[in-house]
């Protein structure tokens, strides 16, 4: 009995425990259900079997803006969804499931009603009309007999994810655009582009590299870079050089295509890295330089041809200069005798008769004219050869004009021409070579006098122009020129028919004058009126006066020293191989009782005699047999016993370069043949003064 009571008591206790546990489970489930229904993080919408909303939780209210009272038993979830999406879903499900599904609530729950798990994206419409994307999970609610009594739609706001997806799409598109842009740049490059890893294996190429090698991109990627060049070792060395130097420029290689075609390329490369500065490999370009190589070869050949042509031209020019120098020497040597002896006869005692004097004047006139012709031809040749050396400096124009006026007055007086020169209170200076400027002015004055009318005039004027230039005009009263003749004025040897009038001239003077003017950055022009006269003008750049002006005046001839007790007390050694020239100088020195003359017929004898007698002055020809005058001078300068003796050159080599070479060699003075007696005597006096001061 007691046992039964005890057993019954245990049974009751177990039932109580079970019931308590059941109540606890119900309470927990209820709490969980309440937590889900009251969650603000997702919407929970429950409907009856027809879709009318029965539950609308706090999350649904927050997301959609409706209160539960506004929707319960009034609308279906389809009415808060985007109608176009609902229609589109109905159409898509109808095709997928091969059955007609009406747009509306049925489209939202059709899969769930068939026991199919259904999660989809949908746009919800809030009470204020705004929209947001949602992810909706649909579940069919069934009773104990498995009959659908309603549906549960749980939704989450998908806005953040959509934004992330949109941003990701933008980034992906940007990346694709960047990749396309980069690829376009690579492919549009005219050079073959290659990337390799640090070991020299190709990782990428462009179309130009495919064309260069005759291989496809797939064939090239993964292959060794060095395998596509005629010298693999040099190509591999190029990769290593980039890795060590970080950069390579103009590294020459020869690419070899699959068909054997070879292409000279200029390889330029640099290393490239990832964002962590880890070396990734080498980025290289290979530019086709085949045409450049051909051009360089052609240019080199052309340069060789030009160099040869230049050498030939220089050789021809030297030959021309040597010929002109030789011709000058050959012409001046006989002229020296003609003019020298004519001058001696003219001043001989007794004086020549009137008829003899007239003949002498004809000889001198013809001789000096021939000398002038030689000078002008040589001047033209030198100018055309480009070997004119000018010493450009501020030149006092008024002084030069005065000198030229003094020199030309006798010629003007002989023709009855009146010369008028400008007078100026302020000195004017032009940028010029003084000697050449004097030559230009004398030539223009000479023409204005020669081609003038008897008793005519020549008016010289100077005009300051606005462009910092000075115009020197020479107006004559001659016959003037026809327009067609003006264009022929500066043609060499064209005298425009003046030779028929018996006026002396060469037709070269104006050509030389024009070229000299242009070499001094000047302009020579002419205006002429037939029957009235012509105006020749020269424009030169004006310039400021130099800080110190030393006016050049002609050296006065010093009176010869008086002989001591009737004996010579100066000695002169003349080294000359031409007997006529020797005779002429002998007669000139005979006029100087204070000078004793010694002679030598070649350079070797001359040097020996100079060392023996140690003369006060040495007069030396240049073109001597055996030892030349320049060589003899060098020997005399190196000998302490003769190096202080002034040596005067007397030569028929009268070209400017000959004179300059002579002065540079150390001649005291350089006189040219034919001898001008006054100049010769003045030079002797200067040399004697120098010798006396240096004894």
Q: Which of 448, 468, 443 is nearest to 460 (CA)?
A: 448
For the stretch 56-92, pLDDT in tens is 999 999 999 999 999 999 999 999 999 999 999 999 9
Domain 17-157: what homologous superfamily?
PAS domain (3.30.450.20)
What are 484-522's pLDDT values in tens digits?
Answer: 777 677 666 555 555 545 455 556 778 888 888 988 899
**Average pLDDT of the chain, as a whole number:** 83
Q: Please tell me the predicted confidence (pLDDT) of residue 687.
A: 94
User: What pTM was estimated for this model as a whole?
Assistant: 0.38
Picking from 636, 626, 633, 642, the residue whose alpha carbon sits closest to that of residue 670 is 633
CATH class of 388-543: alpha beta
Domain limits, the chain: 17-157, 189-288, 297-368, 388-543, 570-693
Domains 17-157 and 189-288 share a fold: yes
pLDDT tens track for 250-269? 999 999 998 989 999 999 99
Measure the CA–CA gap between 69 and 343, rounded to whole angstroms. Answer: 148
In three state form, how does the secondary structure of 427-471 look? Answer: CCEEEECHHHHHHHHHHHHHHHHHCCCCCCEEEEEEEECCCCEEE
pLDDT at 317 over 80: no
452 vs 478: CA distance, rounded Å: 4
**pLDDT at residue 550 is higher than 50:** no
Question: Which range (607-616, 619-628, 650-659, 674-683) has the least confidence?
Answer: 650-659
pLDDT at 563 over 50: no
DSSP symbols for 42-86 = SEEEEEETT--EEEE-HHHHHHH---HHHHTTT--GGGGB-HHHH
pLDDT category of residue 373 using cuts at 50, 70 and 90: low
Q: In the prediction, which pLDDT does 653 show?
A: 78
Phi, psi of 474 (to 5 degrees): -125, 100
- CB neighbours of 81 closer than 8 A, spacing ≥ 6? 108, 122, 123, 124, 125
Residues 124, 79: contact at Cβ < 8 Å? no
657 contacts 378 by C-beta, under 8 angstroms: no
**Domain 189-288, second-level architecture:** 2-Layer Sandwich (3.30)
Given this model, what pLDDT does residue 500 score? 46
Q: Tell me which range, 170-184, 370-384, 435-449, 678-692, is most confidently predicted by mean pLDDT.
A: 678-692
What's the fold here for domain 570-693?
Answer: Rossmann fold (3.40.50)
- CA neighbor of 436 nearest in space, from 347, 340, 518: 518
With a cut of 70, say whether residue 538 has pLDDT above it.
Answer: yes
Token pair listed for 559: 């009176």
Q: Are 338 and 585 in contact (CB under 8 A)?
A: no
């Amino acid at each position: 009995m007691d046992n039964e009571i005890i057993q019954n008591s245990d049974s009751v206790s177990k039932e109580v425990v079970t019931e308590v546990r059941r109540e606890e489970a119900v309470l927990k489930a209820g709490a969980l259900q309440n937590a889900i229904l009251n969650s603000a993080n997702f919407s929970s919408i429950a409907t009856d079997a027809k879709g009318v909303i029965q539950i609308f939780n706090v999350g649904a209210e927050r997301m959609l803006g409706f209160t539960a009272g506004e929707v319960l038993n009034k609308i279906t979830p389809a009415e808060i969804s985007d109608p176009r999406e609902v229609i589109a879903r109905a159409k898509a499900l109808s095709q997928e499931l091969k059955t007609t599904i009406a747009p509306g609530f049925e489209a939202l729950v059709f899969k769930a009603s068939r026991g199919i798990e259904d999660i989809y994206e949908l746009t919800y419409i809030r009470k204020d009309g705004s929209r947001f994307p949602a992810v909706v999970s649909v579940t069919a609610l069934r009773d104990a007999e498995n009959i659908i009594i309603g549906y549960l739609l749980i939704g989450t706001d998908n806005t953040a994810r959509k934004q992330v997806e949109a941003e990701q799409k933008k980034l992906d598109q940007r990346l694709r655009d960047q990749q396309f842009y980069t690829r376009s740049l690579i492919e549009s490059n005219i050079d073959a582009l290659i990337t390799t890893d640090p070991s020299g294996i190709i990782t990428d190429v462009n179309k130009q590299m495919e064309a260069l090698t005759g291989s496809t991109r797939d064939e090239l990627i993964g292959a060794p870079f060095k395998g596509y060049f005629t010298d693999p070792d040099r190509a591999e060395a190029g990769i290593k050089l980039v890795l060590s130097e970080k950069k390579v420029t103009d590294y020459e290689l020869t690419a070899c295509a699959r068909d054997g075609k070879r292409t000279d390329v200029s390889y330029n490369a640099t290393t490239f890295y990832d964002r962590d500065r880890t070396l990734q490999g080498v980025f290289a370009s290979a530019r086709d330089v085949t045409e450049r190589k051909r051009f360089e070869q052609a240019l080199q050949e052309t340069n060789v041809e030009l160099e040869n042509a230049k050498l030939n031209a220089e050789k021809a020019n030297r030959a021309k200069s040597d010929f002109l120098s030789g011709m000058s020497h050959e012409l001046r040597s006989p002229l020296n005798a003609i003019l020298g002896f004519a001058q001696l006869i003219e001043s001989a005692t007794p004086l020549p008769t009137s008829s003899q004097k007239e003949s002498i004047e004809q000889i001198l006139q013809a001789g000096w004219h021939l000398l002038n012709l030689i000078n002008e031809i040589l001047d033209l040749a030198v100018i055309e050869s480009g070997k004119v050396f000018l010493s450009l400096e501020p030149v006092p124009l008024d002084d030069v004009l005065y000198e030229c006026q003094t020199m030309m007055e006798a010629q003007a007086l002989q023709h009855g021409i009146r010369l008028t020169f400008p007078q100026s209170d302020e000195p004017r200076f032009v940028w010029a070579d003084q000697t050449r400027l004097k030559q230009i002015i004398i030539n223009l004055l000479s023409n204005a006098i020669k081609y003038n009318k008897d008793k005519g005039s020549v008016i010289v004027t100077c005009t300051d122009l606005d462009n910092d230039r000075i115009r020197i005009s020479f107006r004559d009263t001659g016959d003037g020129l026809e327009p067609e003749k003006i264009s022929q004025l500066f043609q060499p040897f064209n005298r425009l028919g003046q030779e028929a009038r018996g006026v002396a001239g060469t037709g070269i003077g104006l050509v030389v004058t024009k070229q000299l003017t242009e070499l001094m950055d000047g302009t020579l022009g002419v205006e002429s009126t037939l029957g009235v006269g012509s105006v020749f003008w020269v424009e030169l750049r004006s310039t400021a006066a130099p800080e110190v002006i030393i006016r050049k005046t002609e050296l006065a001839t010093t009176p010869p020293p008086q002989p001591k007790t009737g004996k010579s007390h100066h000695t002169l050694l003349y080294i000359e191989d031409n007997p006529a020239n020797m005779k002429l100088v002998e007669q000139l020195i005979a006029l100087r009782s204070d000078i004793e003359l010694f002679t030598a017929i070649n350079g070797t004898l001359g040097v020996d005699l100079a060392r023996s007698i140690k003369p006060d002055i040495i007069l030396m020809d240049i073109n001597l047999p055996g030892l030349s005058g320049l060589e003899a001078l060098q020997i005399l300068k190196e000998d302490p016993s003769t190096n202080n003796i002034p040596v005067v050159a007397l030569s028929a080599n009268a070209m400017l370069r000959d004179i300059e070479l002579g002065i540079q060699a150390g001649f005291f003075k350089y006189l040219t043949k034919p001898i001008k007696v006054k100049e010769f005597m003045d030079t002797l006096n200067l040399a004697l003064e120098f010798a006396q001061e240096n004894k």
